[in-house]
Structure formats: C-alpha cells, structure tokens
Amino acid sequence: MKTLGRHLIAEYAECNPERLDDTGFIKTCMMEAVRKSGATIVDSVFHRYAPQGVSGVVVIAESHMSIHTWPEYGYAAVDFFTCGQTVDPYKAYAYLKEMLESTDGALTELDRGIPSEKHEVINHKPVPVGIKLSAAAGQ
C-alpha cells in the first residue's frame, strides 16, 4: 500500500453516560483532543439526538476526527483519521479516553491509501501534475 494516512478506530466502553450525552462537553473534548494530536482545526459540527446521544465531526487540515455516543450503553465510537507525519492520533485517543472516563474498549489502526504491491508512505499533498517544483516553491 502507498500509505497516505492512519485511521484509528476507537471503541470506548464503560464511559460516564452523563459525559456522553453532553454536547458541549463532547465538542470541547474533541476540539482539545485534536489540538493535543497536533492537527489543525478547519471546522466542526456537533448534534445532540433525542432522547440521547451526540454525533460530531472535526474537520482537520490532515483529514477528520469524528464521534458518535450511546449514553444508554456507556459507549462511544470514535474515528481519528490523519494524514501526513506531523499529527499523533494516539495523543487524541488517550486524552479522549481519560475525559470520557472509559475503563474498557478497543483500538484498531488501519493504514489508509492506494493499494500497491510496494509498501511506502507517500505525501498527502503532492505537487499537482503539470506544476514544476520550482514554480510551486515560489522560485
């Protein structure tokens, strides 16, 4: 695979149900988790469901981080999808685990990218076809 990014899929279990149902709290935690990972926030949207549960996504320059909660089960599903070499999604994962007071769960990491016989990490923002490197660098 020509790897463009990492995708952490987190299953947070045995969480504090009150925290999982608080939209403001979830948004604050997700934004801070993004900051702790070193990612750049572009935009975000969060929604509270009736009678319970919250979904939200933080779009980052390096991809996205999203959450969906089930307070009735003490469970949250979270994706940390990051591209490039400067972001550490494990920092976001650890921070969110602490804030949700999760005592159980699972974490899966997937490489995301272009199927290939050769394994390599490639830039997620290459120079567009037809643009010379010297022009792209402002020279």
The pLDDT tens digits for 110-122 are: 988 888 888 888 7
Distance (Å, whole) CA 107 – CA 92: 12
Residue 30: CB atoms within 10 A of its CB come to: 25
Distance (Å, whole) CA 28 – CA 32: 6
Locate 74 and state its tokens. 């003490």
Q: Give 2-136's CATH code, choosing from 3.10.200.10, 3.60.90.10, 2.40.430.10, 3.40.50.1820.
A: 3.60.90.10
Distance (Å, whole) CA 88 – CA 82: 8
Mean pLDDT by 10 residues, the chain (139 residues): 91 98 98 97 98 98 96 98 91 98 97 85 63 47
Annotated domain spans of the chain? 2-136
DSSP-assigned states of every residue in 73-94: GTEEEEEEEEESSS--HHHHHH
Pairing of strands 54-60, 104-114: unpaired
Catalytic positions: 63, 68, 83
